[in-house]
Amino acid sequence: MLFIIFSLIILIPVFAGFGAFFQKVSGEIFEGISSKLISGVFSLSAIWTGSAFFYPLNIDVELMTIILGLSAFFYLKVYEELWRFNWKSNISFFFIALIAIFFGSYFPFILDHFGYYVPTVKWISEFGLVQGISNLDLLLGQMSVWHILQAGFSNFSDPFLRLNVIVLIIYLIYIFEKKSWIHLVFLPVLFLFSQSPSPDLPAVVFSLIILNEILTSNRNAGLLFAFSVFVFMIKPTVIWLPILVFLYSLLILRSKIKIMLPGVLLLGLFVFKNIWTFGFPIFPVQFLDLGLAWKPNADLLRNSSQMAILKTFDMQYQYSEILKFSISDYIKNWLFLDGIKGRIHQLFVVSLVLLLIFAVRKNSKIIWLIFISVFIKSVSVLLFSAQYRFFIDVFFVVFFVLFFQKFSKHFALIIFTVLSVSCGLFLSFPNIVKSDLPSFRLGTYMTGFSKNQFYKPSYFELKKYKTHQIGNLKFNVVEQYPFSFDTPLPAISPQFIQEDLDAGIFPQLKGKTLRDGFIWRKVSEEEKIKIKKILENFPAENHE
């Protein structure tokens, strides 16, 4: 916890400093210190995304950024506005902030933390955005802007990757500034995403903030759209947000198209980043083939697409079975999956129906635009890969719209306290989760409370790996474990080695160094034998 407090002391002024400078140039999206903090997160993410094409976000970049941010913080006298935030009378603020820090100190348990988040952060901090990185590991082709921001602070100020806790504190400042107490109800659920640099947490937080601004008639269309595109860059499944802001700007604010230009430019940066790392404009879709030398192998993309469909049905059906489903079978089997996933799917459909009924009853143009935007997103997810993690934000949106301005501070604090205690028990006593919810697979990675959390955030260490070479690529492979979260770069997980072997290919250096990027080539029979020997050391379930 002390390490997280240290990160807060550094990063809050840095974000506020950059945000104040950004607002001098572009104006403020809304009033308050939270506006400067959010603007700082936004502007620094955009700057580092552009910079990462040319430089790794190493400690030199981080220290320079901290110096510039703190200089702006003091030169622009942002500390005066920070001091005006009624700290003394907000005892509940400090109470909630301390709880957020406490939850952020638990062991990470989200599987993507080990297989995607940490490796992505390591690559960006050590090498920047690498061309064709998806040839080494398809998941790395995503390179969320959130992991770019996390990478920039991972060397010194936030080595345990708890940037999401800082976002929760910024969110909390916004809640108390706006006195919009319904947001307190969401915090306990978001605590479950605070141990990792999960893009889900900032995507939900910033979406709810922008949604709150729309429902309170914020008329700053240009910045609202730019910020909504930024959230989309964090998590593309939040596509409903830029759609909503675009429709809100045109149909309600009657804004001119040209004020959308900053957001359009950001969108262009996002597309270029995808092309650079993945080879196609939209990850992981094989859309608009530009014929680039570093695009992934077609067989791997086909396998990825099939796996997305299998995960849609929680791996409870064979791919050949799914292909035989009629439309009614597809919907029925998805809705009534065994286990907790089926219940989540049913709740998702109920939520959409409730939002539709609410839109009909209210007959408000804004509510209808929200429903249309969320419906478009929902249909898109259902068509591509209807996994519950891709529409989790819809639950937050529906609840927020239905109960907007209906929570007093006292009532919201009561619900917050009850849910926080429940979440604390959930994380501290994982054996209950493992026994009562066997279909909740993340339960097996939850380790409970550790007294060391009061000093520094809990984290895992493995550091067991072997080095191999195929062609011109020397790489490291984790030993007796499926994820390469702390394996020195370049690291390839056993699962991806197996997929490469099945496709008869293997990644290779595009040039002479890792910074030059990666391509793939077909392997010889001799190399196939060598790859099989590498995989012999791993349990079959790790690379099937």
Is residue 104 included in any domain, yes or no?
yes
288 domain-assigned = no
Mode of pairing for the β-strands spanning 473-478 and 465-470: antiparallel
Instruction: Give the closest residue to 294 by CA, choosing from 136, 492, 131, 142.
Output: 131
Burial of 271 (0-12, 13-18, 19+ CB in 10 A): middle
Residue 410 lies in a domain: no
Q: Are residues 77 and 139 in the same domain?
A: yes
Number of compact structural domains in the chain:
3
Amino acid at 125: S
Q: Give 434's contacts (C-beta < 8 A, 6+ positions apart).
A: 443, 444, 446
Q: Specify whether 147 is located in the same domain as 264.
A: yes
> What is the three-class DSSP state of 235?
coil
Whether 285 is in a domain gets the answer no
Q: How far is CA 133 from CA 304, 337, 466, 509, in A?
A: 16, 35, 21, 10
Alpha carbons 218 and 224: distance in angstroms, whole number: 8
Does some domain include residue 419?
A: no
**Which amino acid belongs to residue 528?**
K
Residue 48 lies in a domain: yes
Helix, strand, coil percentages in the chain from 3-state DSSP, rounded to 5: 65, 5, 30
User: C-alpha angle 51/110/231, rounded to 5°?
Assistant: 40
Residues 118 and 198 in one domain: yes
Identify which of 447, 523, 478, 485 has the alpha carbon closest to the alpha carbon of residue 161. 485
**238 and 317 housed in the same domain:** no
pLDDT value at position 81?
87
Does 245 lie in the same domain as 126? Answer: yes
CA dihedral 478, 479, 485, 489 (to 10 degrees): -30
With beta carbons less than 8 A apart as the criterion, state whether 248 and 216 touch: no
- Yes or no: say if 508 and 520 are a contact pair by the CB < 8 Å rule: yes
Rounded CA gap, 225 and 497, in Å? 41
Compute the distance between CA of residue 458 and CA of residue 173 in angstroms, rounded to an integer.
Answer: 26
Q: Are residues 266 and 324 in the same domain?
A: no
Q: Is the peptide bond before 490 cis (omega within 30 degrees of 0)?
A: yes
Mark which of 370, 385, 402 sits at the end of a domain. Answer: 402
**Dist CA 141 CA 131 (whole Å):** 9
Q: CA 375, CA 379: separation in Å to the nearest integer?
A: 6
The pLDDT score that the predictor gives to residue 544 is: 36
Q: Is the dihedral of CA 43, 49, 50, 55 positive or negative?
A: positive
Identify whether residues 273 and 369 lie together within a single domain: no
Residue 243 lies in domain:
2-277
Query: What is the CB-side half-sphere exposure of residue 375 using CA atoms within 13 A?
Result: 12
Is 452 domain-assigned? Answer: no
Give residue 485's pLDDT.
Answer: 85
Q: Which residues of the chain have pLDDT under 70?
A: 87-89, 386, 431-449, 539-544
pLDDT at residue number 305: 84
Handedness of CA 48, 49, 54, 57 (dihedral sign): positive
Contacts of 67 (CB under 8 A, 6+ apart): none
Residues 509 and 516 sit within 8 Å (Cβ to Cβ): yes
- Are 197 and 143 in the same domain? yes
> What does DSSP assign to residue 85?
S
Contacts of 203 (CB under 8 A, 6+ apart): 146, 231, 234, 235, 237, 238, 393
Whether residues 65 and 190 fall in one domain? yes
Residue 296: name the closest of 144, 145, 120, 140 by CA. Answer: 140
Which pLDDT belongs to residue 330?
84
CB 65 within 8 A of CB 152: yes
Radius of gyration in angstroms for the set of CA atoms belonging to the chain, rounded to a whole number: 23
Q: 518, 132 in Cβ contact below 8 A?
A: yes
What kind and span of H or E run contains 5?
Answer: helix 2-26
Give tens-digit pLDDT for 281-295: 988 888 888 889 999
Q: Do residues 241 and 373 lie in contact, with contact meaning Cβ atoms separated by under 8 Å?
A: yes
Same-domain pairing of 270 and 323 = no
Residue 454 forms part of a structural domain: no
By the 8 A CB rule, do 359 and 372 touch? no
Tokens read off for 148: 């770019």
What are 504's strand-pairing partners? none
β-strands 473-478, 518-522: how paired?
Answer: unpaired
Alpha carbon distance 542, 335 (integer Å)? 29
Give the C-alpha separation, 99 to 417, whole Å: 10
Q: What is the pLDDT of residue 543?
A: 37
Same domain flag for 41 and 114: yes
Say if residues 108 and 429 touch (Cβ distance below 8 Å): no
Examine the fold and report which residue of 402, 427, 449 is the final residue of a domain before the chain moves on.
Answer: 402
Q: Do 199 and 310 have their domain in common? A: no
